[in-house]
Chain A
Amino acid sequence: MLRFLVGRLISIVLTVWAISFVAFAIIQLPPGDYLTAYMAELSAQGERVSPAELEALRRQYSLGDPFLVQYWKWISGILAHGDFGSSFEWKRPVTELIWGRLGNSILLEGLAVLVMWLVALPIGIYAAVRKYSLGDYLATVFGFLGLAVPNFLFALVLMYLTYVWFGTTLGGLFSPAFERAHWSLPRLWDFLTYAWAPIIVLATAGTAQLIRIMRANLLDELKKPYVTTARSKGLPEWKVIVKYPVRVALNPLVSTIGWLLPTLVSSSVIVSVVMNLPTAGPLLLRSLTSQDMYLAGTIIMLLGVLTVIGTLISDLILAWLDPRIRHGGAR
């Protein structure tokens, strides 16, 4: 178990480092930098900046340095005192801008994962145990729709329908009164009245996939002899299924979190833009278009790190669930 943990941690440190490098490289790609974009904007408005002033700004943000030097300054700032640089556009440290929004992202995605499991598990079990029943077919159809409907389209349709039927516009995560309040029960309630829609949108695709996987896994497991053994003990049928094949079928399902999370983080970006949610997504889009490099780089990196941590958690759950992994047993 210890060796498993240490190995995992090492690979995570390496992955996070690679993510930071890739993130920084991507935001360095556009020709020019924030200042040229800024200049173009200013001159479009008829204002002027003196070359000396520009040079001073460039030195302040060390934009003139070679790529590796800039990267080193950025990453050492993060490691040394959690300084992710400053946003050019907002003229504020990146950390101030993102923590709240990143927290919202994590909260939404976490709730979406929870909803996915709570919905997909019973449906998947039902579909496998009652194979070829009406419910099974409905689950299959739902699975295909979840696969084919892009989440932003689903968000649009949901918004359209609630607007037409109830005359309300979905969007945001809080009502203005609670926007900046501290967490409390009323705020939580307020949050939930807003968050249900994005959570449904985010959870649908994943739920559909989890149902398909759970059904397939469980169908495989139900044929295994240990299920007959459990039945021959005299356990009631529901207990036979829940305690044995479902328990075994859960293991591969847990490991799917590894690739479910990147897609979930991806969809939360685009869904947040459509539904105007105060998460990291819209901020990323804005910072990318305005070449606000430290802000964009930090968000890309932290979203990557988020998925890595999520995958680590799923690995740990898997190790806890599956003795064959925990004890390094061969199979």
Chain B
Amino acid sequence: MPQTPMADRPLLKIEDVEIAFSSPDEADIVAVRQVDLALGPGKTLCLVGESGCGKSVTARAVLHLNDQNAVISRGRILFSPPGDETVDIAALKSDSLAMRKIRGNQIAMIFQEPMSSLSPVHTVGDQIDEMITLHEGLKPREARERTVSLLDQVGVPGPRERADSYPFQLSGGLRQRAMIAMALACKPALLIADEPTTALDVTTQAQILDLLKELQEDYGMAMLFITHDLGVVAEIADEVAVMYLGDVVEQGNVFDVFRAPRHPYTQALMRSIPTIARKKERQRLSPIKGTVPSAKDRPEGCAFTSRCPYAFEPCAGTKPDRAPLGNHVARCHLLTESARKNEVPA
């Protein structure tokens, strides 16, 4: 793809990425295969899927944060920060200077467990200061001033005192706020949030989501948001990508995908959400049959074959192409087949 600077070029473009885990005893495991994603500046892209589907691995690959035995074996991760050259992150080395300059500075990340994701033996303030002194070369005192205003901004009461507390002295919600303050410290163009609300209770979840939306507007940053909660997706996403066992099965505008899911997996996923309805109109929830197979047993073709009610001959053998469906795309043989026959699937 030519890297011509365009006004609306995507901030992050993941092209045909495959990530494999090697282990000394067993054959390599391909955790993520053929992933294509694009995220525009200031937009929010949600990666949804069950645990183990590769959404976290994909997100971490953007910052080269996977374990050492994980290799990006194919594809490109193009990052185009505003007013700067496009970089292919997939080609960078994990501990290279170029990569470290992106980390924290242009792309920041927040994690699921606010307790274990903060160092237990450093104060919250010290951990935020470090980010600022590292990337902007501020003096410790100036950095602390910035830290205090950041903590204030993310809604930590008494920020000056709280900066001197250790993580174990804060509540889960406050810890996650501190985590967010740290991620925002250098005004990143992209924030990767790896299930940031999963470990929190429901009211705190809503507060944190609101905070993130608000901050996103203030800072004009894009967000790559990983979750398994479709409610959260509806709340926060512009675009959504549904992953199943290493494949992106369906992606596109969140309204389109939610209103008219076309991939059997997405459809099944939508049917498994309880809806509030009158007693007469209630329907039984239909869980997806079977369990997720391991990546080793995944067929060459569509990963969902073993549990798909519509599976037919080509499914197991060949990988379906992306079928364009107006504002979104899906990878399913039913769709490509029907496109040929000019039919609409059920």
Contacts and interface: CB of A to CB of B under 8 A. Distances in A.
- The reply, when asked whether chain A contacts chain B directly with Cβ atoms under 8 A, is yes
Interface of A: 132, 224-226, 228-237, 244, 247-248, 251, 321-324, 327, 329-331
A232 to B, nearest CB: 4
A324 B135 CA distance: 29
B140 interface: no
Interface in B167-194: 168-169, 179, 182
A232 B116 contact: no
B166 A225 contact: no
A229 B168 contact: no
B344 interface: no
A244 B119 contact: yes
Contacts of B120: 226, 248, 323-324, 331
B273 to A, nearest CB: 29
Given A229-B109, A247-B119, A327-B169, 7 more contacts: A225-B111, A231-B103, A233-B103, A234-B105, A236-B95, A323-B166, A323-B168
Contacts of A321: 121
Nearest to B112: A225
Nearest to A326: B166
B170 to A, nearest CB: 11
B63 interface: yes
A220 to B, nearest CB: 12
Given A226-B117, A226-B119, A235 B111 contact: no
B109 A232 contact: yes
Given A228-B65, A230-B119, A331 B168 contact: yes
A329 B121 contact: no
B121 A232 contact: no
B288 interface: no
A229 B117 CA distance: 6
Contact of B169 (A226, A236, A329): A329
A134 to B, nearest CB: 15
B118 to A, nearest CB: 6
B121 A323 contact: yes
Contacts of B264: none
A286 B123 CA distance: 54
B238 interface: no
A321 B168 CA distance: 15
A234 B116 contact: no
Interface residues of B, number: 34
Nearest to A229: B117
Nearest to B102: A234
B228 interface: no
A232 B168 contact: no
In order of increasing CB-CB distance, the 3 nearest A-B pairs are A234-B103, A234-B104, A233-B104
B119 A232 contact: no
Contacts of B169: 327, 329
Contact of B121 (A132, A233, A237, A251): A251
Given A234-B105, A235-B100, A236-B100, A228 B111 contact: yes
Contacts of A327: 166, 169
B131 interface: yes
Contacts of B109: 229, 232
A225 B117 CA distance: 5
Contacts of A247: 119, 121-122
- Point out which of A232, A248, A323 has the most chain B C-beta atoms below 10 A from its C-beta: A232
A232 B168 CA distance: 21
A247 B120 CA distance: 10
B108 interface: yes
B130 interface: yes
Nearest to A230: B119
Interface in B75-117: 94-95, 100-105, 108-109, 111-113, 116-117
A235 B95 CA distance: 9
B134 interface: yes
Contacts of A322: 121
Contacts of B111: 225, 228-229
Contacts of A324: 120-121, 166, 168
A135 B71 CA distance: 24
28 contacts: A226-B117, A226-B118, A226-B120, A229-B119, A229-B179, A230-B119, A231-B65, A232-B65, A232-B103, A232-B109, A233-B104, A234-B101, A234-B102, A234-B103, A234-B131, A234-B134, A234-B135, A235-B134, A237-B94, A244-B122, A247-B122, A322-B121, A324-B120, A324-B168, A327-B166, A327-B169, A330-B168, A331-B120
A51 B113 CA distance: 82
A226 B110 CA distance: 11
Contact of A225 (B113, B121, B130): B113
A330 B94 CA distance: 36
B119 A234 contact: no
Contacts of A248: 119-121
Contact of A228 (B105, B117, B182): B117
B181 to A, nearest CB: 13
A237 B99 CA distance: 11
Contacts of B102: 234
A224 B121 CA distance: 13
A217 B3 CA distance: 47
Contacts of A330: 168
B197 to A, nearest CB: 16
Contacts of B112: 225
B129 to A, nearest CB: 11
